[in-house]
């Protein structure tokens, strides 16, 4: 007897059988885009059917196996293709209900027989049974409710699956109304084409293991799911069926963490591999292949749950890092700083995943250095792929670091060495920096970091000055000392009027200023503005007009050493202040030293 059967089935034959989606499967995730594409494809293939029959239309394959549940002996478990099969059932429900809306007296029993059917139980009573049963808890019995024509407007659920299925049902009815109006005949012809001419290939096996292997083979050829889904399948292949529920719970926790953080699963997997195994280059398309070829490193066969636990720990740390926190959820000011600067970039997480077991004090020290180097790479326009490879290469050594001595050696060997190589380039690019050469949010970060560095030295390390949120918020604005929209007098007074807009955009012409102060100076002349700058709580802005002095040799006085004031604001002043900001940047991002820093104070 063949253990694998493959059949080319029209929908009406496919739905002669009953199906279940096991509880370890992922939930229904199709959005309007996927549903619309299926409807449009069917509509296009249908053409003028039944007047003109242009042949069958193939929509893909499903992989099933015989259910081992004694109470479900005539039911097939869906291993692959549940998104498509669920959508077909939803479309049938929408067709049935759209016809009833057009013609309340119309007979829809023929359609309903493909959605659910009556059978006689052992007590001799008729029971209705859905053609497709979703066993995962997120489904909340939604298909059964649609099958029984329950009003979807009364269904309240926070489950993404339920919401997606209701949206698919509602959209399909709207699609039918838009394309066929109240023409019952046309809607029925669409139904006739769907069940008679739309086909799938159903691959049926004797066991779940066989079905999973076929699922893997189909998807490994570039059809269907991504590496995250295939990896999940790989885990299920190597645990016993009675452990499926336990594995599903753990996998769900991994996926939920990424979803809640709105992080891309495949990017996480790339950085997981690079940060934990030192792989210097891997594309998203090769992730699954890498796992298949490196079981000896991952042990997902010999210790599947141990491997999943490692993934879970990494994804938890990953999520905390992108939120600016340590793996245990405590604050880390330098990780928080990175959020203001990195944008969508995540390459620094390669090193942080390798360091996730370090104590918080050492992790903070490392994060300080990573922030400095990551900023240096960005300013000097180091190619992303170049430093991504470096981080992956360094990760193998970082994984071995257990104490402060080891961390200092790592920082000196890699990070300090890189900063020394980049210092001259760093200075050059900052000296040329203007608003058009870098994103606006990064300009704010640069000014915030310089301001924070000065204020912390002057006023002490407090929670207020430790956080960049003090400098980057709705009450702090980016001030152009030479106004963007000047009055005629201001523009005429500028010594290089023909280059006015070029100087407006220079870093040296920018500072941070409290909104309450900024609103009072508008686009006025420098003589008026400078008096208002002195009212700012930010030393970098105060110092434009007057450098604060308190007592003799105080922290405030020492912090002001090297700052320069300006009696007038012209091209020379802007160029000089740009040089000053470069000098301050070398201190703020620890680019002056040639040995590993031993303190995280900036």
Residue 599 lies in a domain: no
**Helix (H) or strand (E) run with residue 562 in it:** none
Mark whether 232 and 322 lie in a shared domain: yes
Total Cβ atoms within 10 A of residue 321: 25
Residue 200 belongs to a domain: yes
* CB of 145 closer than 8 Å to CB of 153: no
Report pLDDT digits (tens) over 292-350.
889 999 999 889 999 999 999 999 999 999 999 999 999 999 999 999 998 888 999 99
pLDDT at 199 over 90: yes
Instruction: Supply the mean pLDDT for the chain.
Output: 89
Percentage of residues in the chain having pLDDT higher than 90 = 60
Confidence (pLDDT) at 273 = 97
Instruction: Check pLDDT > 90 for residue 540.
Output: yes
CA-based nearest residue to 476, from 508, 519, 506, 435: 519
Whether 72 has a pLDDT exceeding 80, the answer reads no
User: Is residue 12's pLDDT more than 90?
Assistant: yes
Q: How far apart are the first and last CA of the chain?
A: 74
566 occurs within a structural domain: yes
Question: Measured at the alpha carbon of residue 471, what is the angle toward residues 369 and 384, in degrees to the nearest 5?
Answer: 40
**Euclidean distance between CA atoms 593 and 595, whole angstroms:** 6
Is residue 494 in some structural domain? yes
Domain interval for residue 187: 4-220
CB atoms within 10 A of CB 435: 17
> What does the pLDDT read at residue 598?
42
Structure tokens at 109: 């029993």
For residue 148, the 8-state DSSP code is T
Residue 131 DSSP class: S
pLDDT at 467: 92
Tokens of 327: 């793996």
What number of other Cβ atoms are within 10 A of residue 189's Cβ? 17
Query: What is the spatial distance between Cα 96 and Cα 103, in angstroms, rounded to a whole number?
Result: 11
What lies within 8 Å, CB to CB, of 52 at 6+ separation is: none
Residue 521 pLDDT grade (very low, low, confident, very high; cuts 50, 70, 90): confident
| 434 within domain boundaries | no
Identify whether residues 189 and 253 lie together within a single domain: no
Helix ranges (DSSP H) in 411-499? 417-431, 440-459, 463-466, 488-493
Quick one: 271 and 287 in the same domain?
A: yes
DSSP 8-state class, residue 47: T
Alpha-carbon span 549 to 538, nearest angstrom? 14
- Round to whole Å and give the CA distance between 186 and 191: 9
Above 90 in pLDDT, residue 213?
Answer: no
Condensed to tens digits (0 to 9), the pLDDT of residues 20-42 reads: 998 877 789 899 999 998 999 89
Q: Is residue 541 part of a domain?
A: yes
The C-alpha atoms of residue 531 and residue 511 are separated, in whole angstroms, by 15
pLDDT at 457 over 50: yes
Render pLDDT for 287-302 as a digit per residue (tens, 0 to 9).
Answer: 888 998 899 999 998 8
| Cβ-based neighbours of 271, under 8 Å, separated by 6 or more | 318, 346, 347, 349, 350, 353
* Number of residues that this document lists for the chain: 602
Domain final residue, candidates 388, 423, 458: 423
- Tell me, yes or no, whether 594 lies in a domain: no
Q: Tens digit of pLDDT for each residue in 562-597? A: 899 999 999 999 999 999 999 999 999 999 865 444
Query: CA nearest 200: which of 25, 29, 38, 54?
Result: 38
Does residue 552 lie in a domain region?
A: yes
175: burial class by Cβ within 10 Å (0-12, 13-18, 19+)? buried
Contact by Cβ (8 Å): 54, 31 = no
Q: Do 186 and 238 share a domain, yes or no?
A: no
Pairing of strands 510-514, 18-21: unpaired
CA of residue 516 relative to chain centroid, distance: 36
In our burial notation (b when 16+ CB lie closer than 10 A, e otherwise), range 233-242 reads: bbbbbbbeee
Q: In terms of domains, do 92 and 212 share one?
A: yes
Q: Are strands 57-66 and 510-514 parallel, antiparallel or unpaired?
A: unpaired
Which token pair is 43? 């509509």
Same domain for 146 and 11: yes
Same domain, 311 and 211: no
Spatial contact of 92 and 114, defined as CB atoms under 8 Å apart: yes
- Residue 410 C-alpha from the chain's centroid: 30
- Decide which of 220, 251, 277 is a domain's last residue: 220
CA 135 and chain centroid, separation: 28
pLDDT at 70: 52
Helix (H, G, I), strand (E, B) or coil at 462: coil
Give CA–CA dist 399/484, Å, rounded.
50
Kindly state whether residues 285 and 215 are assigned to the same domain: no
Q: pLDDT for 390-449, tens place per residue?
A: 999 999 999 999 999 999 999 999 999 999 999 999 999 999 999 999 999 999 999 999
At 108-161, the pLDDT tens digits run: 999 999 999 876 667 777 678 899 999 887 888 899 999 999 888 888 888 888
Q: Helices 244-261 and 265-277, interaxial angle, to 10°?
A: 100
Model confidence at 509: pLDDT above 60: yes
Letter string b/e over residues 124-141, b meaning 16 or more CB atoms within 10 A of that residue's CB: eeeeeebbbbbebebbbb
pLDDT of residue 274: 97
Residue 99: band (very low, low, confident or very high) from pLDDT cuts 50, 70, 90: very high
Q: What is the pLDDT of residue 510?
A: 97
From 200, 220, 240, the end of a domain falls on 220
What does the pLDDT read at residue 163? Answer: 93
Instruction: Say whether the peptide bond before residue 50 is cis (omega within 30 degrees of 0).
Output: yes
Q: What angle do CA 566, 569, 573 make, to 5 degrees?
A: 65
Q: Number of C-alpha atoms within 13 angstroms, CB side, residue 380? A: 21
Query: How many helices (H) does the chain have, and how many strands (E)?
Result: 29, 10
479 torsion bin: left (phi>0), alpha (psi -120 to 50), beta (else): beta
Split at pLDDT 50, 70, 90, the class of 226 is low
Q: Is the pLDDT of residue 601 over 50?
A: no
Can you give the pLDDT at residue 68?
A: 66
Apex 62 CA angle, 41 and 167, nearest 5: 55
Q: How confident is the model at residue 219 (pLDDT cuts 50, 70, 90)?
A: low
Residue 69 has pLDDT above 80, yes or no: no
453 pLDDT exceeds 90? yes
Beta-sheet strands, E only, within 291-348: none
pLDDT at 596: 44
Q: Pairing relation of β-strands 126-130 and 116-120?
A: antiparallel
**73 band by pLDDT with thresholds 50, 70 and 90:** low
Counted domains in the chain? 3
- Check whether residue 120 and residue 197 sit in a common domain: yes
Residues 212 and 293 placed together within one structural domain of the fold: no
State both tokens at 177: 């109304």
The whole-number pLDDT of residue 223 equals 38
| Residue 6, pLDDT above cutoff 90 | no
Give how far Cα 268 sits from Cα of 96, 314, 431, 517, 582, Å: 43, 9, 36, 44, 35
Percent of the chain whose predicted confidence (pLDDT) is above 70: 94
User: What backbone phi and psi angles, to 5 degrees, belong to 547?
Assistant: -85, 125
pLDDT at 359: 97
**pLDDT classification of 224: cutoffs 50, 70, 90:** very low
Helix (H) or strand (E) holding 570: none
Indicate whether 210 and 274 sit together in one domain: no
How far apart (Å, rounded) are the C-alpha atoms in residues 602 and 589? Answer: 7
| 69 shares its domain with 84 | yes
Residues in Cβ contact with 597 at an 8 Å cutoff, skipping those fewer than 6 apart: 368, 369, 411, 416, 590
């Amino acid at each position: 007897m063949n253990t694998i059967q493959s059949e080319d089935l029209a929908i009406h034959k496919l739905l002669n059988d009953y199906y279940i989606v096991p509880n370890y499967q992922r939930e229904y995730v199709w959005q309007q885009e996927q549903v619309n594409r299926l409807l449009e494809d069917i509509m296009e293939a249908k053409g003028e059917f039944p007047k003109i029959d242009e042949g069958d239309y193939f929509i893909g394959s499903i992989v099933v196996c015989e259910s081992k549940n004694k109470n479900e002996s005539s039911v097939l478990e869906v291993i692959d293709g549940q998104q498509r099969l669920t959508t077909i059932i939803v479309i049938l429900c929408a067709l049935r209900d759209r016809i009833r809306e057009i013609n309340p007296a119309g007979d829809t029993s023929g359609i309903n027989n493909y959605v659910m059917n009556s059978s006689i139980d052992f007590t001799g009573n008729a029971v209705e049974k859905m053609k497709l049963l979703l066993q995962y808890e997120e489904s909340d019995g939604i298909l059964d409710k649609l099958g029984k024509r329950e009003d979807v407007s009364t269904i309240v659920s926070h489950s993404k699956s339920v919401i997606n299925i209701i949206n698919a049902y509602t959209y399909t009815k709207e699609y039918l109304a838009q394309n066929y109006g109240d023409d019952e005949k046309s809607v029925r012809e669409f139904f006739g084409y769907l069940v008679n001419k739309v086909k799938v290939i159903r691959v049926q096996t004797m066991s779940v293991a066989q079905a999973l292997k076929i699922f893997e083979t189909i998807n490994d050829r570039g059809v269907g799911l991504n590496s995250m889904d295939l990896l999940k399948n790989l885990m299920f292949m190597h645990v016993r069926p009675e452990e499926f529920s336990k594995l599903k719970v753990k996998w769900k926790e991994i996926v939920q963490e990424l979803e809640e953080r709105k992080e891309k699963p495949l990017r996480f997997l790339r950085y997981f591999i690079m940060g934990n195994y030192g792989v210097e280059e891997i594309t998203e398309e090769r992730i699954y292949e890498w796992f298949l070829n490196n079981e000896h490193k991952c042990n997902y066969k010999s210790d599947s749950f141990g491997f999943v636990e490692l993934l879970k720990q990494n994804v938890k740390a990953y999520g905390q890092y992108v939120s600016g926190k340590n793996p245990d959820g405590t604050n880390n000011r330098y990780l928080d700083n990175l959020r203001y600067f990195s944008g969508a970039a995540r390459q620094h997480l390669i090193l942080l995943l390798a360091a996730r077991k370090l104590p918080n004090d050492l992790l903070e020290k490392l994060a300080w250095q990573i922030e400095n180097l990551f900023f240096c790479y960005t300013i000097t326009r180091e190619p992303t792929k170049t430093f991504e490879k470096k981080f992956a290469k360094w990760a193998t050594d970082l994984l071995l670091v257990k104490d402060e001595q080891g961390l200092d050696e790592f920082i000196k060997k890699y990070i300090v060495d890189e900063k020394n190589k980049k210092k001259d380039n760093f200075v050059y690019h900052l000296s040329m920096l203007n608003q058009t050469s870098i994103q606006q949010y990064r300009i704010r970060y640069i000014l915030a970091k310089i301001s924070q560095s000065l204020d912390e030295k002057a006023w002490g390390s407090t929670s207020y000055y430790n956080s960049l949120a003090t400098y980057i918020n709705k009450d702090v604005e980016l001030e152009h000392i030479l106004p963007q929209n000047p009055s005629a007098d201001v523009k005429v007074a500028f010594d290089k009027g023909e280059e006015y807009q070029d100087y407006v955009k220079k870093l040296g012409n920018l500072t941070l200023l409290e909104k309450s102060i900024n609103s009072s100076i508008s686009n006025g002349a420098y003589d008026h503005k400078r008096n208002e700058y002195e009212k700012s709580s930010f030393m970098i802005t105060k110092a434009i007009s007057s450098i604060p002095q308190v007592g003799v040799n105080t922290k405030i006085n020492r912090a002001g050493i090297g700052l320069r004031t300006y009696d007038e604001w012209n091209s020379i002043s802007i160029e000089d202040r740009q040089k000053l900001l470069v000098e301050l940047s070398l201190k703020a991002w620890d680019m002056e030293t040639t040995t590993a820093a031993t303190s995280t104070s900036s």
